[in-house]
Chains A and B, each alone.
Chain A
Amino acid sequence: MTDTVLSIRNLTLALPKGADRRYAAENVTYDVAKGEIMCVVGESGSGKSMAANAVMGLLPKGVRPTDGEILFHGEDLLKLDEKRHRELRGLRIGMIFQEPMTALNPLMRAGDQIAEVFEAHGLYNAKERQQKALSLLEEVGIPQPEKAIRAYPFELSGGQRQRVMIAMALALEPELLIADEPTTALDVTTQAQILELIRDLQQRRNMAVMFITHDFGVVAEIATRVCVMRLGKVVELGLASDILGNPQHEYTRSLIDAIPSNAVPPARDVRDPAPLLEVRQLNKVFRSRGGLFKPSREVVALNDVSFTLDRGETVGIVGESGSGKSTMGRCVVRLERPDSGELLLDGVNLSALKGDALRRERKRVQMVFQDPYASLNPRTRVGLAIAQGPIANGVPRQEALKQAGDLLDLVGLGAAAAERFPHEFSGGQRQRIGIARALALNPELIVADEAVSALDVSIQAQILELLEDLKRKLSLSLLFITHDLRVAAQVCDRIIVMQHGRIVEQGTAQEVFLSPREAYTRELLDAIPGRAHEAAAV
């Protein structure tokens, strides 16, 4: 490749003392050329974002370069003083971040935040900046740009905010765009749109793009070249087609294999097709209370939802944010009270129960939450956290703690883990704790709400395996809520697709995934990144 824009040579970044390893990045070498999208792939902790931060001069405190160079058009960025480096940022190197929810200043209008880029580099007057911001918003395809320019971030959706971020990063037509997991926090359909936008803008402007991701599906969608990183080192580097088609390194192969494939496992026969959970015409409307002068707002989260879940079955509820899938799960464990309809668990109407009767029944349904970081009390030892449920249900403390140890054994952490605090565990381990906690009350049904969404693919595969294993051993039933149709196809016997609080389609995993009847399901499937690539490979 000619026209190298960025050339990272033997870059080594040292972590502060006491970190779990010495180097955030070790001897990293790769180039990014004009007109290409270089995907840097790795799991969390692989150091994939570190080089990008070094390019921007935005390394976290304590991380410092000890060796190597970063050549931007032949100039070593590591040797620049802060002032010169600042002049490059925004002007010649733009950056997009992962979290569109937090990456914009909540107190500034979108237009002003874009205009700030021009201001930072002393370009144009105030009026021209606003005009430029408007045309940028048009370019990134925001609906009603003249309204969006006056909007505060909280008034925009995740995808719209990410478009604002992109408009900001591209304002001064930088030669290099760094995108750090820009679509990870978005719904699949939104993700597909944003990926298309980035690819489109990249081609139109012939930019060099450094795209950081953990998702090989995304890589397959947009990468020209790929750099796979693990524990701070480059494992494999090459053309996207080579790496995806014929990965050399074992780690790369395991990452690609860990992506849930398009092949759907054959349906299992359920031995005992007796319904465990029957949901009948469930409705739930959220109302924001209006004031004297303010109209109240209504969001229909569940609209006449009915389905059954047989004993020993895994049913997946799939949908994008706002589809009502989480509300469904919360209603089943009665964290939320449905407005109308029935929730029959083994013939007992859960939705009608109150007070003590509800307390007695609710242990039969337990939940595994999405965020393994936020769902455990940081000040409670893991063993006690698991034992609290049984203790509340009258099991003597010593016995409950002993059971907690056994459960930790069962989920593969070992009974010794009981004495430790949540922060001592990784995300995947915490999710195992979450599962142990859900199991502590011997439930018949487990509701897993996006239980693997926050995890790396390899860890995700392990957790799914664990759930499958436990399900068999303990003869559990599973309600699996996810935004990821592919994961659902792997683990579920039946899949329910939801949109705007309604069930759009339901059927066996094979039916829904391989021959969807509804347009929306097809749309969801088409939006899955890397699907075209894999279809070709199969």
Chain B
Amino acid sequence: MVYARLIAMRLLKAVIVLFLIIVFNFFLIQLAPGDPAAILAGEAGATDEAFLRQLREQFGLDQPLYVQLWHYVSGIATLDFGYSYRQQMPVLDLILERLPATLLLTGTAFVLSLALGIFAGSMAAARVKKISGSVIMALALVFYATPLFWVALMAVLLFSVYLDWLPAYGMFTVGAHYTGMAHILDVAKHLILPASTLALFFMAIYTRMTRASMLEASQQDYVKTARAKGLKDRVIQRRHILRNALLPIITLAGLQAGQMVGGAILTETVFAWPGIGRLMYEALMQRDYNLLLGIFFFSAALVIVFNIFTDLVYRLADPRIKEAS
């Protein structure tokens, strides 16, 4: 009941925030130099004034700004994000076509980095004075410090070119037309390299954070209380130390989750993954403003959704948080 009210409140705020983002993005694009009509005309190979005017009229570019804004906002309210003239497709269709691929990639990376990071971090915390603990931390530091694209290239070189275990690019084997289980396996195989590349950086952060946070929590009085009860170390680590140590990690995970739509441009480009990141890159290069605005909108919406979700998780994890911030 409390949650239902909370979510309702947050969704109301989210709509307002989204509206502001739409308006802001709209004007941001307006500020960009260059006349879209001129570019369109240039692409078509014609530059005479009559054609330009016709283009402006056709796309409403000759209307006053507030009218254009009104058209745009009311369009979004009815899920009409406009038309991408470059791709010759409605923006919404383009994004929805690419979204699953991106969410599959970033979602896998998210789960992977969170699970492995917390696991490695708690291992390192439990082995703080042992060599194994130091090895974990050294690895985490290496992954943290290495540029993503370099890791990606090296991974391709090692696992695809040299060992030939995994495909180097794409989401599925072109021309193979697998169906059912074979298709899933094929995609999974293609997913391994980009997902783990993307996961490494955040995994390293989670590892370091979990370790630091657990070491801090293990100094707390309640850990001594737990030991005085005669609890086993394993139980104390999990139930008392890790649970208290997770709170800052939830905050960070919320931030990472918010990047799920737009955060994989580099990885998608290197591995030719057909996702939003690449779509955005192309849209940027081609001044496909409608498409760009649509992607902005989606990634903003996702950030908001994950912020709400993070707040809910936080509330579950820490009973002390009672009121809406």
Instruction: Tell me which residues across on chain A come within 8 A of B324, comparing CB atoms.
Output: 291, 294
The listed residue (B231, B243, B317) touching A116 by CB distance below 8 A is B231
CA distance A117 to B319 in the complex (A): 22
Q: Which of B233-273 contact A (CB under 8 A)?
A: 235, 239-240, 243-244
CA distance A123 to B323 in the complex (A): 38
Say which one of B57-65, B90-98, B185-193, B217-225 lies at the interface with A: B217-225
Say which one of A103-111, A244-252, A328-336, A349-357 lies at the interface with B: A103-111
Smallest Cβ distance from B98 to chain A, in angstroms? 38
Are B225 and A104 within 8 A (Cβ)? yes
Q: Is A382 an interface residue (CB 8 A)?
A: no
Q: Is A511 an interface residue (CB 8 A)?
A: no
Tell me the count of chain A residues lying within 8 A, CB to CB, of chain B. 34
Q: Which of A62-93 contact B (CB under 8 A)?
A: 86-91
Instruction: Tell me which residues across on chain A come within 8 A of B225, comparing CB atoms.
Output: 97, 103-105, 165, 168
Chain B contact surface mostly: helix
Are A117 and B229 within 8 A (Cβ)? yes
The number of chain B residues touching the other chain, given as a range, is 20 to 34
Q: Which of A466-501 contact B (CB under 8 A)?
A: none
Q: A107-B319, A120-B235 are in contact. Are A293 and B220 (CB under 8 A)?
A: no
CA distance A104 to B220 in the complex (A): 9
CA distance A168 to B224 in the complex (A): 13
Q: Which of B190-220 contact A (CB under 8 A)?
A: 220
Are B228 and A89 within 8 A (Cβ)? yes
Are B224 and A97 within 8 A (Cβ)? yes
CA distance A489 to B89 in the complex (A): 86
Are A107 and B323 within 8 A (Cβ)? no
Instruction: Tell me which residues across on chain B come within 8 A of A425, comparing CB atoms.
Output: none
Q: Is A152 an interface residue (CB 8 A)?
A: yes
Q: Is A102 an interface residue (CB 8 A)?
A: yes
Are A56 and B320 within 8 A (Cβ)? no
Are A152 and B319 within 8 A (Cβ)? yes
Are A116 and B229 within 8 A (Cβ)? yes
Nearest CB in chain B to that of A292: its residue:
B9
Q: Is A22 an interface residue (CB 8 A)?
A: no
Are A99 and B224 within 8 A (Cβ)? no
Instruction: Tell me which residues across on chain B come within 8 A of A294, comparing CB atoms.
Output: 323-324
Q: Is A94 an interface residue (CB 8 A)?
A: yes
Interface string of B313-325 (1 = CB under 8 A from A): 0000111100110
Q: Is A317 an interface residue (CB 8 A)?
A: no
Nearest CB in chain B to that of A290: its residue:
B323
Are A107 and B318 within 8 A (Cβ)? yes
Smallest Cβ distance from B217 to chain A, in angstroms? 10
Q: Is A205 an interface residue (CB 8 A)?
A: no
Smallest Cβ distance from B203 to chain A, in angstroms? 25
Nearest CB in chain B to that of A90: its residue:
B230
CA distance A97 to B225 in the complex (A): 8
Instruction: Tell me which residues across on chain A come within 8 A of B230, comparing CB atoms.
Output: 86-91, 117, 120-121
Instruction: Tell me which residues across on chain B come within 8 A of A104, comparing CB atoms.
Output: 222, 225
Nearest CB in chain B to that of A106: its residue:
B320
Q: A107-B244, A152-B320, A293-B5 are in contact. Are A94 and B228 (CB under 8 A)?
A: yes
Nearest CB in chain B to that of A56: its residue:
B228
Nearest CB in chain A to that of B325: its residue:
A291
CA distance A117 to B324 in the complex (A): 35
Nearest CB in chain B to that of A93: its residue:
B228
Q: Is B305 an interface residue (CB 8 A)?
A: no
Are A116 and B226 within 8 A (Cβ)? yes
CA distance A292 to B221 in the complex (A): 37
CA distance A108 to B319 in the complex (A): 9
Instruction: Tell me which residues across on chain B come within 8 A of A293, comparing CB atoms.
Output: 5, 9
Interface string of A418-461 (1 = CB under 8 A from B): 00000000000000000000000000000000000000000000
Are A97 and B221 within 8 A (Cβ)? yes
Interface string of A270-300 (1 = CB under 8 A from B): 0000000000000000001001111000000
Q: Is B130 an interface residue (CB 8 A)?
A: no
Q: A152-B319, A154-B320 are in contact. Are A103 and B231 (CB under 8 A)?
A: no
CA distance A95 to B229 in the complex (A): 8
The listed residue (A90, A102, A154) touching B228 by CB distance below 8 A is A90
Instruction: Tell me which residues across on chain A come within 8 A of B244, comparing CB atoms.
Output: 105-107
CA distance A154 to B319 in the complex (A): 9
Q: Is B232 an interface residue (CB 8 A)?
A: yes
CA distance A168 to B323 in the complex (A): 30
Q: Is A126 an interface residue (CB 8 A)?
A: no
Instruction: Tell me which residues across on chain A come within 8 A of B320, comparing CB atoms.
Output: 106, 152, 154
Q: A152-B320, A154-B319, A154-B320 are in contact. Are A105 and B232 (CB under 8 A)?
A: no
Interface string of B285-325 (1 = CB under 8 A from A): 00000000000000000000000000000000111100110
Q: Is B227 an interface residue (CB 8 A)?
A: yes
Nearest CB in chain B to that of A112: its residue:
B239
Are A102 and B220 within 8 A (Cβ)? yes
Are A103 and B319 within 8 A (Cβ)? no
Are A58 and B227 within 8 A (Cβ)? yes
Smallest Cβ distance from A179 to chain B, in angstroms? 12
The listed residue (A88, A106, A120) touching B231 by CB distance below 8 A is A120
CA distance A121 to B224 in the complex (A): 17
* Interface-central residue, B9, B229, B231, B244, by most chain A CB under 10 Å: B229
CA distance A168 to B222 in the complex (A): 12
CA distance A291 to B316 in the complex (A): 20
Q: A89-B230, A168-B229 are in contact. Are A102 and B222 (CB under 8 A)?
A: yes
Instruction: Tell me which residues across on chain A come within 8 A of B317, comparing CB atoms.
Output: 107
Instruction: Tell me which residues across on chain A come within 8 A of B9, comparing CB atoms.
Output: 291-293
The listed residue (B5, B221, B231) touching A102 by CB distance below 8 A is B221
Instruction: Tell me which residues across on chain A come within 8 A of B228, comparing CB atoms.
Output: 56, 58, 89-90, 94-95, 97, 169
Instruction: Tell me which residues across on chain A come within 8 A of B318, comparing CB atoms.
Output: 106-107
Instruction: Tell me which residues across on chain B come within 8 A of A86, comparing CB atoms.
Output: 230-232
CA distance A91 to B231 in the complex (A): 11
Instruction: Tell me which residues across on chain B come within 8 A of A119, comparing CB atoms.
Output: 231
The listed residue (B221, B232, B243, B323) touching A103 by CB distance below 8 A is B221
CA distance A87 to B244 in the complex (A): 25
Smallest Cβ distance from B126 to chain A, in angstroms? 15
CA distance A102 to B225 in the complex (A): 10
Are B232 and A120 within 8 A (Cβ)? yes
Interface string of A388-401 (1 = CB under 8 A from B): 00000000000000
8 tightest CB-CB pairs across the interface, nearest first?
A90-B230, A89-B230, A102-B221, A90-B229, A95-B228, A105-B222, A120-B231, A103-B221
10 contacts between A and B (CB under 8 A): A56-B228, A89-B229, A97-B221, A102-B222, A107-B243, A120-B229, A152-B319, A154-B319, A168-B225, A293-B9
Interface contacts beyond A86-B231, A97-B225: sample of 11 additional A-B pairs, CB < 8 Å, sorted by A: A86-B230, A87-B230, A89-B227, A89-B229, A89-B230, A97-B224, A106-B222, A106-B244, A108-B239, A120-B232, A291-B323
Residues of chain B having any CB pair with chain A under 8 Å: 5, 9, 220-222, 224-232, 235, 239-240, 243-244, 317-320, 323-324
